[in-house]
Structure 1
Amino acid sequence: MTNPEIKKGKGLTLFCVLMLANTWLLSAQTVTKQYVDTIVHRLSDQLEAHYPFPEISARYKQKLLARLQEGAYHNLLEEQLAKQLTTDLNAVHKDRHLNIIRDSLAYRAAITPASASPDKQPPEELAYEGNYGFDKVEIDHFLSTAYISVPGPWHAVPEAFAAATAAMNLATGSKHIIIDIRRNGGGSGAMGRYLASYFYATGNDQYYLYGFHKDKSQDEQEWTLPFVPGKTAPDAKLYILTGRNTGSAAEGFAFAMQRLKRGVVIGDTTAGAGIAGSYVPLQCNLMLFLPVKMIVAPHTIKGWEGDGVIPDTATGKQDAWLRTRKIIIQDLLKNEKDEERKEMLTWRLEDFLIGDTRPIDWARYNRLPFQYSEKISIRKKDGLLWYGITEKNKTTNYYQMQEIKPDVLLIKDLLPELGANAARLYINRDTRGNIVAITRKTYLRQENNKIVTGSSLSRSTKQP
């Protein structure tokens, strides 16, 4: 006897497969010759009318019409046509912004009046959910450093500027300010100018960038603002973190501040998207991102299009944030007069060496294992050095040691409640290089950045 439930399930599965197939067919329509002609001519006309470089737009148009005459765009699906058009444009001149995509939702939204799309989530709601491009602000009071994470995108709405103001008001009390735009793909250039304004005194507005259009009457000088809410930071050192995903308006911020010699760019070369633009609907779900404004440094024709922003300090695979902290600590150490602060800064600088694991130099440390007191001992086991603490019940707990630099060793996992890397061993030697004593130091980061130095324990047995 046939199980009716199983039969019903098979029928439902077949129905779902057919529905999926039909959905795919609907999304993979071949573009008719009539629509192909419309798309190519509309694309050519838009480039000719608005692309900021007339000689390049003329070559674009010539290429597109020649390929249309050859029949290169006929009998293609929408997605295939979008890719082929982009490929042909790039063959003439590679513009990282200029491209054609197939996006049915974006196309319908572009050709539908806003009042006719009540169910669509407004852009301002999406911006709100992303906190208008601002992620977090972290303050390190000891280093007088503020870190602002701005993954973007940037928006030019009052709420976005309020978010920027809040972030900057937290940061401007610090002597070093880090703005992280490594994942920021761009958005509104107005936000970059707004942030830049905080790094100049009130009334000292700067010629920031210059944008030129195909229609020269629309060219514009971009200046920082003479006034921004809250406190400014004209004397703070600015570090801008960049990466391969830093694009468009975010690149503009890094480029302008670097050219103005107001900020140091650290990280990787940026995307190289230096022409601003917007999306234009073509036909058949195809959307053109049309670059309309080339952005360059004032009084020059030099921008970052194609080349990207080259960092002042390239970090390669090293984390740009960690590299910047190291630069800041080294900078502070140069001018620090207080010995206690010097010791704490040196400790933090040595933190960067911890990840560099290296084999133990036994020629140097062969005489380090020893019973230094009833409670403290160091032993060698399995090719490693271990720091031992003997408790009252005669049980000895051992902690692995790792060289940070010659005669400074990390005692791993000792006092974890004080944070990572809280305990270190310092070795004292005589003029002949023999070990004469050891000293353990503990960094109480959570208690006013205080380093506690333990008793010096001598190695009394004579060494050869």
Structure 2
Amino acid sequence: MHSDEIRSIVERLAALVSEHYVFPDVGQEVAARLRAAATEGRYDVLTDPEQLAAQVTADLQIGNQDKHLRLKFHRGEIPDETDLVAEEQHWADRARLDAGGVARVERLAGNIGLLEIRPLLYHPVHAGAAVSAAMSLLAATDALLLDLRGCLGGSPEQVAFVCSHLFDAEPVHLNDQVTPATGTIRQYWTGPVTGPRFGGSKPIWVLTSGSTFSGGEELTYDLQQLGRARIVGERTGGGAHPREGFKLHAHLEATVPVQRAVNPFSGTNWEGVGVVPDLEVPAAEAFDAAYREAVEHVLTLPAEPARLGVEEEARAVVESIPVAG
């Protein structure tokens, strides 16, 4: 990359931030800062795209700490967002190679379900079938561990689709997205699913880490605010502003937050603060802590002849896992 190309990239980024950023006054301030830095030649020596992305991102986030506001480097060439066919194929391919984000689905000893979603909550168009298949396998379990420790973001539509399996058929209001530039509000609710639901009464534990971000945080926050799940692990990353991506270079994407998440119960979101766990433990200990609590719940269920094996499994788990803390 040469200096003219670098300055062109920075100028387009500044224009996008000024036009689209979720807080217009901040967007104009950030754009002015980028333009001043480019005029001073601060970026001219950063001819490696990855180095340029790191420095510009640091400058973008001065004062606002918005982790969605980035110049993002990609090792592979990224699709142009204006080429809808290519972009759709890109996400379809990623979802296919990542098994729709369903990294692990298992019935654990004690009849506890485990669903790990990583690295992304892909759109239901590409990954809805994978989630429904996983939940069909787990529908008869007595409790669920939803592992989002490696979930880095994703589609709000998929957040709603996952939640639809975790409540009963009556629609539940999950989240709103507000676009300040237009004043429009989009609501997200649970909806119909294919196959059995886990349902709205059996307990859920959500596992989190400091890497849980964006869509992974929304899923965590929605379930917490509704009192539907107990959160175990680390405080999450703190990115609540939905963003749009714009291709500026074969390997550089501008990610610009354009909306604000507003939870219908808290009236706010997790931007900058993260989702605070109900039981805060290191991420590496979250599974054991949640699993122990889940099997302790199983041991409180009414005794039935068919459940003798489940109770034996649950007792063995409780004896093998120390109490957290």
Q: TM-score range by the shorter chain?
A: 0.7 to 0.9
Contact kept, 8 Å, 1:31 with 1:78, in 2: the verdict is no
Contact kept, 8 Å, 1:268 with 1:310, in 2: the verdict is yes
C-alpha distance 175-130 of structure 1, shift in aligned 2 (>3 A): same
Give the alignment partner of residue 128 of structure 1, picking from 86, 92, 96.
Answer: 96
1:302 deviates by 2.0
1:284 deviates by 7.6
Task: Report which of the two has the higher share of strand.
Answer: 1
- Counterpart residue type for residue 144 of structure 1: N
Matched, 1:237 2:213: no
1:263 maps to which residue?
Answer: 229
- Counterpart residue type for residue 210 of structure 2: R
Contact kept, 8 Å, 2:233 with 2:283, in 1: the verdict is no
Contact kept, 8 Å, 1:211 with 1:221, in 2: the verdict is yes
C-alpha distance 113-234 of structure 1, shift in aligned 2 (>3 A): closer
- For residues 144 and 188 of structure 1, what CA distance do their matches in structure 2 show? 30
- For residues 116 and 123 of structure 2, what CA distance do their matches in structure 1 show? 18
Matches for 1:411-450 after TM superposition, within 5 Å:
none
Identity of aligned residues (%): 24
1:348 deviates by 3.1
1:169 deviates by 1.4
C-alpha distance 36-343 of structure 1, shift in aligned 2 (>3 A): closer
C-alpha distance 41-181 of structure 1, shift in aligned 2 (>3 A): same
Matched, 1:350 2:315: no
2:184 maps to which residue?
Answer: 218
1:185 maps to which residue?
Answer: 152
Give the alignment partner of residue 289 of structure 1, picking from 255, 265, 270.
Answer: 255
C-alpha distance 195-42 of structure 1, shift in aligned 2 (>3 A): same
Range 90-99 or range 70-79, more displaced: 70-79
Contact kept, 8 Å, 2:101 with 2:121, in 1: the verdict is yes
Matches for 1:324-403 after TM superposition, within 5 Å:
324-334=290-300, 345-353=314-322
C-alpha distance 92-133 of structure 1, shift in aligned 2 (>3 A): same
Give the alignment partner of residue 200 of structure 1, picking from 167, 183, 187.
Answer: 167
- Counterpart residue type for residue 228 of structure 1: V
1:310 deviates by 1.2
Matched, 1:302 2:268: yes
C-alpha distance 264-274 of structure 1, shift in aligned 2 (>3 A): same
Question: What TM-score, normalized by structure 1, do the two folds share?
Answer: 0.61
Secondary structure of residue in 2 paired with 1:209: strand
Give the alignment partner of residue 172 of structure 1, picking from 139, 145, 151.
Answer: 139
C-alpha distance 262-294 of structure 1, shift in aligned 2 (>3 A): same
* Structure 2 residues without counterparts, runs of 5 or longer: none
C-alpha distance 294-162 of structure 1, shift in aligned 2 (>3 A): same
Matches for 1:145-164 after TM superposition, within 5 Å:
145-164=112-131
Alignment deviations for residues 281-329 of structure 1 (CA, whole Å, 9 cap, x no partner): 2358542112222223126552112221111111226521211121123
1:240 deviates by 1.1
1:73 maps to which residue?
Answer: 43
1:252 deviates by 0.6
Question: What TM-score, normalized by structure 2, do the two folds share?
Answer: 0.85
Secondary structure of residue in 1 paired with 2:290: helix
- For residues 271 and 198 of structure 1, what CA distance do their matches in structure 2 show? 25
Contact kept, 8 Å, 1:277 with 1:289, in 2: the verdict is yes
- For residues 138 and 308 of structure 1, what CA distance do their matches in structure 2 show? 28
Range 183-192 or range 290-299, more displaced: 290-299
Give the alignment partner of residue 96 of structure 1, picking from 56, 67, 78.
Answer: 67
Secondary structure of residue in 1 paired with 2:242: strand
- For residues 82 and 161 of structure 2, what CA distance do their matches in structure 1 show? 33
1:92 deviates by 3.3
* Structure 1 residues without counterparts, runs of 5 or longer: 1-28, 355-464
1:176 deviates by 0.6
C-alpha distance 114-306 of structure 1, shift in aligned 2 (>3 A): closer
- For residues 242 and 183 of structure 1, what CA distance do their matches in structure 2 show? 8
Alignment deviations for residues 65-93 of structure 1 (CA, whole Å, 9 cap, x no partner): 33234333344424344333222222232
